[in-house]
C-alpha cells in the first residue's frame, strides 16, 4: 500500500481509502449485516488501509458507530474522516432524496460532539462539509467555527465533499481558496473526468488533496453493470439511465486496448488512472464484501500508468461528448 500526504497537512493516508457509507446503507444493492461490516473494516486495516471516510448521516450514525467499535483501541493507527451538514434527527431516510441541510454554529458544534461520541474518540483527523452549496462555501462564519475546532484540537483539518452526484465545480474551486481546506472530495473516474480534471489542477496549485469517490462509474468499470442490468429504484445507481449505460460501455471498449497492452483489467486500469493523477490523495471504491476489499487493495502495487498512456486516455476522453453537471442555480 502506498501512502500520500493529505494536502497541506502532515497526515499520511493510504491511496486506497475505505468509504464507509456502504456498510450502513443498502444503496448499492446489498444490505451488509453488522458482523460482516466489522469484518470488512478489519480486513481493510489488515490490507494496509489506514484511511476511513464516513459521514454522520450514513444510517443515522451507524457507519460512525461501527468504525468506533472496531478501532476504539487502535485510534492512533488510523485516520478518521467524517462529514456533517444534514439534519436527520426528525426525518426518515427514504431513498436518496436530500435531507434538510444546516451549517450554523449551534448545529455544527452538536454534530461534531455526536460524531466524536459515536466514533469513540476525542478528535477527528478530518471533518467535512457534506454537499455544501455555493452560499455555504462563501459563508465565513461556517469556516470560522471549523477553524475554532482546529484551534482546540477537536479536528486536525477539514474537507469539502461535493455533491450530490457529479458537478459543483465552482464550490470545489472556491473551497480550495480557504486556507484550512486540505481536501476536496468529488465523483471522478476514467469516463467521467469533468469537473475532476479542473479540480485536480487547482488542487496541485493550492496543495489540496483530491479525494475520489465513484471510481468504478457506478459499476460500469467493474462489469457489475451491463446492457442487461436492471437497477432497483432503491439502489443509489438508479439515476443512471439506459442511454448512459450504453454510451459508457462503448467508452469502455475504446479503453480496452490500453488495458490489454498493460496486462490490466478495465477495473485495474480505471483505479491506476486515478492514482496516477497529480493532485490525487485517496480513492474510495464502493465495497460490499471482504473479497472486494482484498481485490482493490491488490491494485495498489505501486505500478502506475505511463505518461504516454495517460496522454492517450486524455485524448480519447476529449473526443467524447460532454455531460450535464450539477451546479448551484445562479439565482441562489
Q: What is the DSSP letter of 178?
A: S
User: Which of 139-143, 196-200, 221-225 is the least confident region?
Assistant: 221-225
- How many CB atoms neighbour CB 224 within 10 A? 16
Each residue of 69-125: pLDDT tens digit?
Answer: 999 999 999 999 999 999 988 777 555 567 889 999 999 999 999 999 999 999 999
Report pLDDT digits (tens) over 279-328: 999 999 999 999 999 999 999 999 999 999 999 999 999 999 999 999 98
Q: What is the pLDDT of residues 123-137, one digit of tens each?
A: 999 999 999 999 999
Within the chain, where are the H helices?
34-46, 62-71, 105-119, 134-137, 140-151, 169-175, 196-206, 242-261, 266-275, 290-297, 307-317
* Residues 223-235: tens digit of each pLDDT: 887 666 655 554 4
Rg for the chain, CA atoms, rounded? 19
CB 296 within 8 A of CB 268: no
Distance of CA 74 to the CA centre of its chain: 23
Alpha-carbon distance of 226 to 207, in angstroms, equals 38
- Which pLDDT band, with edges at 50, 70 and 90, does 259 fall under? very high
For residues 34 and 286, what is the distance between their CA atoms, to the nearest angstrom? 17
The residue with cell 464516513 is 54
Amino acid at each position: 500500500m502506498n501512502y500520500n500526504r493529505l494536502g497541506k497537512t502532515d497526515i499520511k493516508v493510504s491511496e486506497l481509502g475505505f468509504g464507509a457509507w456502504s456498510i450502513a446503507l443498502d444503496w448499492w444493492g446489498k444490505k451488509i449485516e453488522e458482523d460482516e461490516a466489522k469484518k470488512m473494516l478489519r480486513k481493510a486495516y489488515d490490507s494496509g488501509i489506514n484511511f476511513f471516510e464516513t459521514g454522520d448521516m450514513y444510517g443515522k450514525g451507524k457507519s460512525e458507530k461501527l468504525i468506533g467499535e472496531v478501532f476504539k483501541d487502535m485510534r492512533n493507527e488510523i485516520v478518521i474522516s467524517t462529514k456533517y451538514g444534514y439534519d436527520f434527527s426528525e426525518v426518515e431516510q427514504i431513498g436518496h432524496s436530500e435531507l434538510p441541510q444546516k451549517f450554523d454554529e449551534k448545529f455544527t458544534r452538536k454534530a461534531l460532539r455526536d460524531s466524536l461520541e459515536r466514533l469513540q474518540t476525542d478528535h477527528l483527523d478530518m471533518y467535512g462539509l457534506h454537499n455544501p452549496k455555493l452560499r455555504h462555501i462563501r459563508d465565513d462564519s461556517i469556516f470560522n467555527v471549523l477553524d475554532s475546532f482546529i484551534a482546540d484540537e477537536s479536528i486536525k483539518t477539514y474537507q469539502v465533499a461535493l455533491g450530490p452526484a457529479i458537478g459543483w465545480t465552482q464550490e470545489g474551486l472556491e473551497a480550495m481558496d480557504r486556507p484550512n481546506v486540505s481536501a476536496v472530495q468529488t465523483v471522478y473516474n476514467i469516463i467521467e473526468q469533468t469537473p475532476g480534471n479542473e479540480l485536480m489542477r487547482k488542487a496541485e496549485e493550492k496543495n489540496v488533496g483530491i479525494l475520489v469517490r465513484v471510481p468504478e462509474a457506478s459499476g460500469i468499470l467493474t462489469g457489475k453493470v451491463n446492457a442487461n442490468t436492471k437497477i432497483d429504484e432503491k439502489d443509489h445507481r438508479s439515476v443512471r439511465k439506459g442511454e448512459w449505460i450504453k454510451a459508457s460501455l462503448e467508452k469502455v471498449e475504446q479503453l480496452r486496448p490500453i488495458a490489454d497492452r498493460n496486462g490490466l483489467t478495465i477495473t485495474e486500469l480505471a483505479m491506476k488512472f486515478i492514482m496516477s493523477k497529480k493532485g490525487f490523495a485517496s480513492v474510495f471504491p464502493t465495497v460490499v464484501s471482504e473479497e472486494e476489499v482484498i481485490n482493490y487493495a491488490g491494485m495498489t502495487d505501486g505500478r502506475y500508468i505511463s505518461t504516454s498512456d495517460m496522454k492517450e486516455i486524455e485524448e480519447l476522453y476529449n473526443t467524447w461528448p460532454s455531460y450535464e453537471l450539477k451546479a448551484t442555480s445562479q439565482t441562489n
